[in-house]
Structure 1
């Protein structure tokens, strides 16, 4: 049994991460936005291992409250899953700049700030790991157009996580970004390649096997190393 902290756990890949972690007999702490706690069909035993936390990952006040809420709570795996696709207008000649900034707040800045807020909890684990859901759309080797806000935010978070892996190396905290695949969610659309169940299963399998030798590498949901 391990303890996972999952951001954006109320829908899509995040919800599947929650469901499958509970099925694996793990303890799950997961965040959601809004006023209503998600209602899942769970057994009483599963409900005892699940804690919902209302959190806006871009809100400094919310983040500042986390350490006090989780005193002496070890976290084995932090999965920075919360993310946005970005504004409707994000082409080179038609950019919603405020939407672009918000995309960076959620996709790039928030994973670092959430990790910082939970560092003491990660240090309480014997094998702390930080997995950030990124995208191959942020890989610099790929040549494709459009969706500048989303692509640039994911390219940036890849670099943030690579740097963070170096910063936290002495503390023996593994840090890796992961490409979740093209997933059939509200964000990925119905034409995507894989289901949320498949993506979540792969991400969790990867998270379980990560060691310090893997830290700073970019992986796919299938557990394969991805080029930057």
Structure 2
């Protein structure tokens, strides 16, 4: 299987690369600064030529186009993983310029990358697009407020995946928003209850089981359908 993973230099993205390589996939990994992604670069040596690392700034149109042009088809699975969260992000400390950047990286970029890779996705004849969202993007589940930029961007990402689920169905391409849970990464922090290995293993298992009847849906790493 040919897989594309964005934001692959650390955390969930890096572990996605590891586990996909372990199961025998060919991976095209995007990182904003590959020259500083030491752990990702180290994986290239043992990949048997199955890991290809590319420079990718998902918020930059030219960078995304160059990235897509460097990837031969078909692409069976695209995982839009690149994301940011700035803190503090409560109302009193809100930086609206930073909020706009968060929205660009977390929401708009997933559409930008998907659009650029559409020819390769169509060539796969049954591809899947998965965007890493968050429970914090659920409007229904917002019981304590705050986290404005992150919540808003992930809610927008969810809507994008919902629309892609409808619009790409005719091409045989399925689209999903996936929540990895609260994970022990640089973003999630050391108090998070879920290891990155467990989260990623769950995400890949869920992706393997999701079908056409699930397209446009929002699921967690254990396969539970989440409320919008």
- Normalised-by-shorter TM-score class: over 0.9
SS in 2 for 1:101: helix
> Which residue of 1 is the match for residue 52 of structure 2?
51
> Which residue of 1 is the match for residue 133 of structure 2?
134
Tell me how far apart the structure 2 counterparts of residues 47 and 149 of structure 1 sit (CA, whole Å). Answer: 40
| Cα distance per residue 1:27-79 (max 9 Å; x no partner) | 111101115153455485624100001100001111122342124x2111100
User: Contact between 2:184 and 2:194, CA under 8 Å: does it hold in 1?
Assistant: yes
1:1-228 paired onto structure 2 within 5 Å: 2-36=1-35, 37-40=37-40, 41-42=42-43, 46-71=47-72, 73-86=73-86, 88-142=87-141, 143-228=143-228
Change beyond 3 A, Cα 1:32–1:168: same
The offset of 1:89, in angstroms, is 3.7
Structure 1 window deviating more from structure 2 (106-115 vs 58-67): it is 58-67
Tell me how far apart the structure 1 counterparts of residues 220 and 107 of structure 2 sit (CA, whole Å). Answer: 18
User: Contact between 1:203 and 1:221, CA under 8 Å: does it hold in 2?
Assistant: yes
Equivalent pairs counted in the alignment come to 225
In structure 1, runs of 5+ residues without a counterpart are none
Tell me how far apart the structure 2 counterparts of residues 6 and 80 of structure 1 sit (CA, whole Å). Answer: 6
Tell me how far apart the structure 1 counterparts of residues 69 and 52 of structure 2 sit (CA, whole Å). Answer: 15
Change beyond 3 A, Cα 1:214–1:54: same
SS in 2 for 1:163: helix
- Give the CA RMSD over aligned residues: 1.5
SS in 1 for 2:120: helix
